[in-house]
A and B are shown apart, each in its own frame.
Chain A
Amino acid sequence: MNAPVRPSRRGFLQGSLGALVLSVTAQGVVTTAWAAEPASKAFGADSMPGGTVDDPLVFVSIAADGTVTIVAHRAEMGTGVRTSLPMVVADEMEARWERVTVVQADANEARYGNQNVDGSRSVRHFLMPMRRVGAAARHMLEAAAAARWSVPVADVKAAMHEVVHVPTGRRLGYGELAADAARQPVPAPETLKLKAHADFRYIGKDQVRLVDLEDIGRGQAKYGMDMTLPGMVYAVVARPPVVGGKLRRVDAVAALAVPGVLQVVEIPGFEGAPAFKPLGGVAVVARNTWAAMQGRAALVLEWDDGPNGAYDSTAYRQTLEAAAQAPGKVMRQAGHAAQVWERAPEAQRVVADYYIPHLAHASMEPPVATVQIHKDRAEVWTSVQNPAAAQEAVAARLKLKPEQVTVHVLLLGGGFGRKSKPDFVDEAAIVAQALPEGTPVKLVWTRDDDIHHDYLHTVSVEHLQAVVSPDGQVQSWLHRSASPTIASLFAEGAKGQQLFESAMSAINMPYVIANVQVETAEVAAHARIGWFRSVANIPHAFAAQCFIAELAHHAGQDHRQFALDLIGPARKIDPGTLGDTWNYTESPERYPYDTGRLRGVIEAACQGADWGRTLPKGHGLGLAFCYSFMSYTAAVVEVAVDADGEIQVVAVDMAIDCGPQINPERIRAQLEGGAIMGLSLALTSEITFTRGRVVQSNFHDYEVLRHQASPRVIRCHLVNDDHALPPGGVGEPPVPPVAPALCNAIFAATGKRVRSLPVRKVA
């Protein structure tokens, strides 16, 4: 099926929920209500750059020998989408998976739709477009067969890589039909017949392994780091040790004398907000990576540290703690939380502050990009989550049109949110510009670079205070976050979390509490703050979920029962009534907050862990749960703490309700991996600053979980596989409940509260 490119078609969801209306009562209390609005707001996939494309001629081609080639347009960083989305196409078009070849798309959002792999959106946004691609291809194959036999289309049926004429049993393979099928009109989306769920062969069946699985085991899978071209040179960069710092002086004489070093290239620093601009510094270009590293070590450098030169994380924690005690910007308010607190007797008050430090992504493959510039065009090979952003950054840098920049996307050795920022690709383009035309350069970040210069997960103090009446009812809840905002990347001096950050488990809590106040404190950023797998859900869920356990204890109740009562009965809540007008960009009508589904994952995790059983001495169970990226997750951790306070994670029960389960095996993998990443940030990982500099540099001081500390048992519970529901995300939702579940387990085991991460040992 190879035909001229047809114009891509996009569908537009008609949002019918309206705009937020603020009304101010006589007491100055702000409440929210919905009002009608023109039904033209784009939600979800349609609100992303590039939207979605469901043209089969873009994604599918069939060779004369029957090989079906399916384009994977979303980058692969370990969630399996390079396999899962083509699998969906293959299922709908009745292709045999063993006859399918997957090819990775270059950057081209106009052609393929959105390609930015972040926000747990790949299956969430592309399940239906890929089903439509497959169904359309199937229709065209059937139409081609019917035409060939001069029979009605209703008499033919595609099945397992061939089309059969049902009355006579005649059959034609996809290879034979390919050319004719490509000439068929592409069916209009409303005429497509999607498969009934009972007819799925691959979707939900765990029959398909990762397309790269065998290559990975043989060392043949190609990552960004593995790119090689004839004549390629290598570069590493000495960057300002402090964000916003500038090069004062460089002496490159010794560097240039290192065997293999070819030249040095200055990289300009950024002005204003850092965004995705390079930090600046000096690149050393050499014949191999080692010589480039040796050359960099030989540079003599002087830096002006700039405005963040005094950043000290110990001092900054005090700043955050102070800010967390003072009134902040109100993000949600219902009732009179402040007054109820004022009037409550001391015995009914519970207050706690929680601290979550900066975190680094630390993917096993550090950032890397290869760029080759020719006259009027450039070619890029890199492992990025957002190929279009890389294309735009390189085009802008080289003063080319985006169409003149080809970005080839290789496998990512992990991403976790770091590699959606194209700063390192921009650096490679800057260096390539300084080389003879046509010289490819691979610009490599070392591990030290990656730890020192990450777009870090933010640092937070979360303040919670509640009034619990003697009957165990929570009367008021105040949650105040003191945390620098991601918005500081884009607006110099931006202070305090924005709506989208608060709407990750701070504002949008559904608990049956009459008096609720959610605030953010205005605190400045002194590092580049970025998106780290599940983002602001990490600190918000850590604090809120630990706090609910504290409230349960205060009320003398079992935590699980207390939490279920606090959530209240199964009901669908309009997120806008919780003050959440973001809802991960999704339509509140299509994706209400469903407390029944939240209760379901709590029950699944608790049942899996046999909540309430008698445990050996020193053991404890802890529960936590979270709604994030349109999915519901819960974790129960069993911990054993010995007399010395050494922590052993015995088992973890992870539950998820993500709606339809497209690749259950990969969902389990994300639950396992998310559990381990959640335990990593709870037990071992912390980035600190002294004199504006990140203190840590490699895995000896930025520790992540290793084999021996990983739980022997992780049980995965995939709940409510319901294809009538729109899909939820899977990559990020497993992470947030794990750290609070661990700390709640530590309390159950020892009676000691952990409110500050990481907890390396129980005091």
Chain B
Amino acid sequence: MTQLQINGQTRTVDVPDDMPLLWVLRDELGMTGTKFGCGMALCGACTVHMDGAPIRACVTPLSAVVGQPITTIEHMQADHVGQVVQQAWVENNVAQCGYCQAGQIMTAVNLLKTQPAPSEQQIDDAMSGNICRCGTYPRIRKAIQQAAGQLAQGSKQ
């Protein structure tokens, strides 16, 4: 039996140590917000945070996350930066099919937490691991810039 810290809660699973976190989340814990897109850390759809840093859950085995705080898309509503980013995603009508957007948001949240006023280049560098086949990149950029602006205003109050 393995204990995990997911979104501030202790969860227990009974699966082999080498099972990637992606499938632990989706199949064992029923948390389907984190998506399967490639299985090889090439597309970013499976992005979660481990101790605040973005990781690709599809190639991160269970053994690597034991004892580490994991946050998933399901927790972003309870996170200040997450809320601002989600709201910017809504206001800019970013999504088309939406399948990649959880991963995009997780990466964007981490970007804004580590780089509150990102340049265009920094946005590109941070986001280029997240593929969108529908082509929502221009709106993702706009939403990140809007969220950065709102967070900057908020921090001045």
User: B91: nearest residue on chain A (CB-CB)?
Assistant: A209
Q: Contacting A669 at CB < 8 Å: which of B19, B20, B96, B105?
A: B96
> Are B131 and A226 in contact, with the CB atoms below 8 A?
no
> Are A219 and B16 in contact, with the CB atoms below 8 A?
no
A617 on the B face (CB < 8 A): no
**A444 and B23 alpha carbons, distance in the complex (Å):** 13
Q: Contacting B97 at CB < 8 Å: which of A226, A293, A411?
A: A411
* Cβ of B112 to closest chain A Cβ, rounded Å: 15
Q: Contacting B135 at CB < 8 Å: which of A80, A225, A444, A673?
A: A673
**A496 and B36 alpha carbons, distance in the complex (Å):** 37
Given A413-B98, A708-B124: A209 and B27 within 8 A (CB)? no
Q: Contacting B128 at CB < 8 Å: which of A366, A411, A448, A707?
A: A707
Q: What residues of B have a CB within 8 angstroms of the CB of A290 in the complex?
A: 15, 19-20, 23, 27
Within 8 A of B (CB), among A191-231: 209-210, 212-214, 216-223, 225-226, 228
What does the 1/0 interface line of B82-112 toward A look like (CB < 8 Å)? 0000100110010111111110010000000
**A457 and B61 alpha carbons, distance in the complex (Å):** 36
B51 on the A face (CB < 8 A): no
* Cβ of B3 to closest chain A Cβ, rounded Å: 19
Q: What residues of A have a CB within 8 angstroms of the CB of B130 in the complex?
A: 706-707
Within 8 A of B (CB), among A673-720: 673-677, 698-700, 704-708, 710-714
What does the 1/0 interface line of A378-395 toward B look like (CB < 8 Å)? 000000000000000000
> Are A259 and B16 in contact, with the CB atoms below 8 A?
yes
User: A80: nearest residue on chain B (CB-CB)?
Assistant: B96
Q: Contacting A364 at CB < 8 Å: which of B30, B97, B123?
A: B97
User: B99: nearest residue on chain A (CB-CB)?
Assistant: A413
* Cβ of A75 to closest chain B Cβ, rounded Å: 11
**A234 and B23 alpha carbons, distance in the complex (Å):** 12
A672 on the B face (CB < 8 A): yes
User: B72: nearest residue on chain A (CB-CB)?
Assistant: A219
B38 on the A face (CB < 8 A): yes
Q: Contacting B42 at CB < 8 Å: which of A209, A210, A234, A698?
A: A698
Instruction: Report the tally of A-B residue pairs with Cβ distances under 8 A.
Output: 185
* Interface-central residue, A76, A260, A365, A412, by most chain B CB under 10 Å: A365
Within 8 A of A (CB), among B116-138: 120, 123-125, 127-138
**A700 and B120 alpha carbons, distance in the complex (Å):** 24
User: B28: nearest residue on chain A (CB-CB)?
Assistant: A288
User: A446: nearest residue on chain B (CB-CB)?
Assistant: B39
Q: What residues of A have a CB within 8 angstroms of the CB of B133 in the complex?
A: 362-364, 414, 416, 677, 704
A41 on the B face (CB < 8 A): no
A176 on the B face (CB < 8 A): no
Given A699-B43, A707-B123: A222 and B128 within 8 A (CB)? no
Q: What residues of B have a CB within 8 angstroms of the CB of A216 in the complex?
A: 89, 95, 98, 101-102
User: B130: nearest residue on chain A (CB-CB)?
Assistant: A707
Q: What residues of B have a CB within 8 angstroms of the CB of A705 in the complex?
A: 135, 137
**A357 and B136 alpha carbons, distance in the complex (Å):** 25
Q: What residues of B have a CB within 8 angstroms of the CB of A642 in the complex?
A: none
Given A290-B23, A364-B43, A413-B97: A78 and B134 within 8 A (CB)? yes
> Are A210 and B137 in contact, with the CB atoms below 8 A?
no
Given A80-B96, A704-B131: A364 and B124 within 8 A (CB)? no
* Interface-central residue, B74, B99, B125, by most chain A CB under 10 Å: B99
User: B37: nearest residue on chain A (CB-CB)?
Assistant: A364
Within 8 A of A (CB), among B43-81: 43, 45, 72-74, 76-77
A77 on the B face (CB < 8 A): yes
Q: What residues of B have a CB within 8 angstroms of the CB of A363 in the complex?
A: 97, 99, 133
A665 on the B face (CB < 8 A): yes
> Are B125 and A708 in contact, with the CB atoms below 8 A?
yes
**A234 and B15 alpha carbons, distance in the complex (Å):** 15
**A364 and B26 alpha carbons, distance in the complex (Å):** 17
Within 8 A of B (CB), among A217-251: 217-223, 225-226, 228, 234
> Are A210 and B135 in contact, with the CB atoms below 8 A?
no
Q: Contacting A365 at CB < 8 Å: which of B28, B35, B74, B105?
A: B35
Given A290-B23, A364-B35, A704-B131: A218 and B95 within 8 A (CB)? no
Given A216-B95, A413-B35: A675 and B135 within 8 A (CB)? yes
Q: What residues of A have a CB within 8 angstroms of the CB of B100 in the complex?
A: 364, 413
> Are A210 and B40 in contact, with the CB atoms below 8 A?
no
Q: What residues of A have a CB within 8 angstroms of the CB of B95 in the complex?
A: 210, 212-213, 216-217
> Are A289 and B34 in contact, with the CB atoms below 8 A?
no
> Are A78 and B128 in contact, with the CB atoms below 8 A?
no
Given A217-B89, A219-B72, A708-B128: A212 and B98 within 8 A (CB)? yes
**A462 and B5 alpha carbons, distance in the complex (Å):** 57
* Interface-central residue, B93, B132, B134, B139, by most chain A CB under 10 Å: B134
> Are B73 and A218 in contact, with the CB atoms below 8 A?
yes
A333 on the B face (CB < 8 A): no
Given A364-B43, A699-B43: A707 and B140 within 8 A (CB)? yes
**A499 and B98 alpha carbons, distance in the complex (Å):** 36
User: A713: nearest residue on chain B (CB-CB)?
Assistant: B138
**A699 and B19 alpha carbons, distance in the complex (Å):** 22
What does the 1/0 interface line of A444-460 toward B look like (CB < 8 Å)? 10111000000000000
B32 on the A face (CB < 8 A): yes
A79 on the B face (CB < 8 A): yes
Q: What residues of A have a CB within 8 angstroms of the CB of B89 in the complex?
A: 213, 216-217
Q: What residues of A have a CB within 8 angstroms of the CB of B30 in the complex?
A: 228
* Cβ of A545 to closest chain B Cβ, rounded Å: 20
* Cβ of A343 to closest chain B Cβ, rounded Å: 47
27 A–B contacts from the bound complex (CB under 8 Å): A77-B97, A78-B98, A213-B90, A213-B98, A216-B101, A217-B101, A217-B102, A220-B33, A220-B74, A225-B35, A228-B30, A228-B32, A234-B27, A259-B16, A364-B131, A413-B99, A446-B39, A447-B40, A672-B138, A676-B137, A677-B135, A699-B40, A700-B40, A700-B42, A704-B133, A707-B130, A711-B138
Task: Using CB atoms and an 8 Å cutoff, list the residues of chain A in contact with chain B.
Answer: 76-80, 209-210, 212-214, 216-223, 225-226, 228, 234, 259-260, 288-290, 293, 362-366, 411-416, 444, 446-448, 665, 669, 672-677, 698-700, 704-708, 710-714
- A-B contact sample (7 more), CB < 8 A, given A288-B27, A290-B15, A704-B133: A78-B98, A213-B89, A214-B86, A216-B101, A362-B133, A446-B39, A448-B39
